[in-house]
Amino acid sequence: MAKAKKLYIITTGGTISQKRDKITGRSEDAGQTDGNVFAELLKDELDNHGYEVEVVEGTKEPKDSSNIVPEDWVSIIDTIVKYYDKADSFLITHGTNTLGYTSAALSFAFGNLGRRVVLTGSQVPHGSSGSDALMNLQNAARVAMTDEKELFGVVVVFGSKIITGARVKKRTEFDYDGFDSFSTTFPIGRVGSKLKFDENALKEHNDHYKLRARIADQLEVFKKFNSNIVSLTEFPGMSPKIFEALYDELKVEGFVFRAVGAGDPNIAPDNAAHTYTNLKEAFDFLQSRKIPIVVTTQSATGTSSMDINPSGITAHKMGAIEAWDMSMEAMTVKLMWLLGKGAKYEHIRGMMHSSVKGEVIVTNQ
């Protein structure tokens, strides 16, 4: 008789684990669902795929994902490494608010995963009326255990979609199909009565995991994330002094900047006749101190292309890094990861335009 494979369920908290108080309706009043309940709910799926299951905690305590911090990413990473040699695949239950950040962090942290790491959550707590927890758990487990297709690395399964970990975007806080693959890319696949994969998207995802560790000792892991960065949104009349003040007071080491247009900060070209205050002083200051600033667009699904309008072109010449079609989650975590690795200014500029785990697709570099 063939030996059963092993699925590890890693719990972190979040809505999927919360219970709602029947009187107050508040999730926090009623505590957390024991992770072993999830294992019991998946019994039929496990039996059908010939898997055994073990439930472990990925964080020191269950957390609403709004409270997840980089130290929790490290704890999850360490948990995966700890059980890597025993596991055939991992299923992580997580809150929805920062699911895209965690999936991006895990994607960047592991250079050569040879296992599937599948994250999921729910919009409604387990056991509550109308909960999507059971469906998402079952769908995630099916993806984690399927032998129909080769699939490696980090993915999120939510509703009917299978999404590569570095392109996960929460689309709505209400609908059951709450997540999508960011911008113009397609999900790896969909979950219905059977699993249906987009062959091109699947190949592109797997191509980032060509080197696959068979055992934990072969894993390439870099789990230091430097969170001494600031994310700012541009608005008309924004003072350039904000950037200098943040650097002087907090020694900020990087910026993510949501500019207007296609990544067009309020910067007037040198030959422009202008009397108004713009952000040129700020970009000059950052460039002089070799502080990276990643510029994206405020458009919900847009791409920053800083070769279209004069302000964007000027900012790019002054050191701004185009985010292209990276999600806010991916570009933020990637900058933290590169700074955590001690990457220098010019290396960061190059790496932000290089696709490490499929996070950036459109680039002219």
pLDDT one-digit tens code per residue, 119-143? 999 999 888 888 899 999 999 999 9
Q: What is the pLDDT of residue 27?
A: 54
d(CA 265, CA 242): 14
pLDDT at 209 over 70: yes
Whether 320 has a pLDDT exceeding 70, the answer reads yes
Reference 156, options 122, 182, 119; nearest CA is 119
Query: What average pLDDT does this structure show over 328-332?
Result: 97
DSSP 8-state assignment for residue 290: T
Q: Does domain 229-351 have CATH number 3.20.20.70?
A: no
CATH superfamily, domain at 5-218:
L-asparaginase, N-terminal domain (3.40.50.1170)
Q: Is the pLDDT of residue 21 over 70?
A: no
Q: Give the residue from 89, 338, 53 showing the smallest Cα distance to 222.
A: 338
**Which pLDDT band holds residue 56 (cuts at 50, 70, 90)?**
very high
Domain residue ranges in the chain: 5-218, 229-351
Q: Which residues pair with 120 in a beta bridge?
A: 93
Least confident range of 15-29, 62-76, 250-264: 15-29
Per-residue model confidence (pLDDT) at position 30:
42
- Residue 365 pLDDT more than 50? no
Residue 256 phi, psi dihedral angles, 5° rounding: -115, 125
Tokens of 281: 């002083």
Q: pTM, whole model, 2 decimals?
A: 0.94
Topology alike, domains 5-218 and 229-351: yes
Look at residue 155 in the predicted model and tell me its pLDDT. 98
Tell me: pLDDT of 68 over 70. Answer: yes
pLDDT(340) > 80: yes
pLDDT(24) > 60: no
Asked if residue 362 has pLDDT above 80, the reply is no
**Does residue 69 carry a pLDDT above 50?**
yes
Indicate the average pLDDT of the chain.
Answer: 91
pLDDT for 318: 92
Considering only the C-alpha atoms of the chain, give the largest distance between any 2 of them, rounded to a whole number of Å.
Answer: 81
Cα–Cα distance between 277 and 268 in angstroms, integer? 9
% of the chain exceeding 70 in pLDDT: 93
Mean pLDDT of the 85-103 span: 97
Tokens standing for 280?
């040129």
What confidence tier does 45 reach under pLDDT thresholds 50, 70, 90? very high
DSSP 205-259: HHHTT-S--SSGGG--B-------EEEEE--TT--THHHHHHHHHH---EEEEEE
Q: Give the model's confidence band at 19: pLDDT under 50 very low, under 70 low, under 90 confident, else very high.
A: confident
Residues 6 or more apart in contact with residue 9 via CB below 8 angstroms: 35, 38, 39, 42, 53, 54, 55, 56, 90, 91, 92, 93
The pLDDT tens digits of the residues spanning 272-296 come to 666 667 899 999 999 999 999 999 9
What average pLDDT does the segment 74-79 reach? Answer: 98
One-letter amino acid of 253: E
What confidence tens digit (pLDDT) does each residue in 215-245 have?
999 999 999 999 999 999 999 999 999 999 9
Alpha helix ranges (H) inside the chain: 35-41, 43-49, 70-83, 99-109, 133-145, 199-207, 241-250, 280-288, 310-317, 328-340, 345-351
pLDDT of residue 29: 44
Comparison of pLDDT for 174 and 237, the residue scoring more: 237
Q: Is the pLDDT of residue 344 over 50?
A: yes
Give residue 301's pLDDT: 76
Amino acid at 206: N
What is residue 34's predicted lDDT score, i.e. its pLDDT?
A: 77
Quick one: residue 128, left, alpha or beta (phi over 0 = left, psi -120 to 50 = alpha)? Answer: beta
